[in-house]
């Protein structure tokens, strides 16, 4: 079977459904954002590396909180690394 990550312009809908259904592939995609919809509830968006569009799938509030916490930890760590790499100016 062809990887859904290698889809052309004709196969994108089928590929995106396959990506959303495979948690291993989904978790490997770059996180984009969360969005709430009155119709669909809470959605998690990820970037498709093949066609650069964003793909959405449902996410629970608990899962969303865990995801944001993970990203917050990574951002905090990155800020500390940036501060450590930035020369301090003499006062």
Q: What is the mean pLDDT of residues 55-84?
A: 96
Q: Which residues of 60-88 are buried (b: 16+ CB within 10 A; e: fewer)?
A: eeeeeeeeeeeeeeeeeeeeeeeeeeeee
Whole-number pLDDT of residue 91: 60
pLDDT band with cut points at 50, 70 and 90 for residue 55: very high
Q: What's this model's pTM, rounded to 2 decimal places?
A: 0.79
Band of residue 2 on the pLDDT scale cut at 50, 70, 90: low
**Between 8 and 15, where is the model more confident?**
15
Classify residue 15 as exposed, middle or buried by CB count within 10 Å of its CB (0-12, 13-18, 19+). Answer: buried
Domain ranges of the chain: 12-85
Long-range CB contacts for residues 62-67, cutoff 8 Å, separation at least 24: 64/34, 67/31, 67/34
15-47 per-position pLDDT tens digit? 899 999 999 999 999 999 999 999 889 999 999
């Amino acid at each position: 079977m062809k990887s859904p990550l290698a889809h052309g312009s004709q196969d994108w809908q089928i590929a995106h459904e396959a990506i959303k259904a495979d948690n291993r592939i989904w978790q490997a995609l770059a996180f984009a954002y969360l969005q709430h919809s009155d119709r669909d509830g809470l959605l998690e968006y990820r970037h498709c590396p093949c066609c650069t569009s964003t793909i959405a799938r449902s996410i629970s509030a608990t899962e969303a909180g865990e995801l944001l916490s993970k990203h917050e930890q990574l951002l905090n760590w990155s800020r500390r690394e940036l501060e450590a790499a930035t020369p301090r100016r003499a006062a």
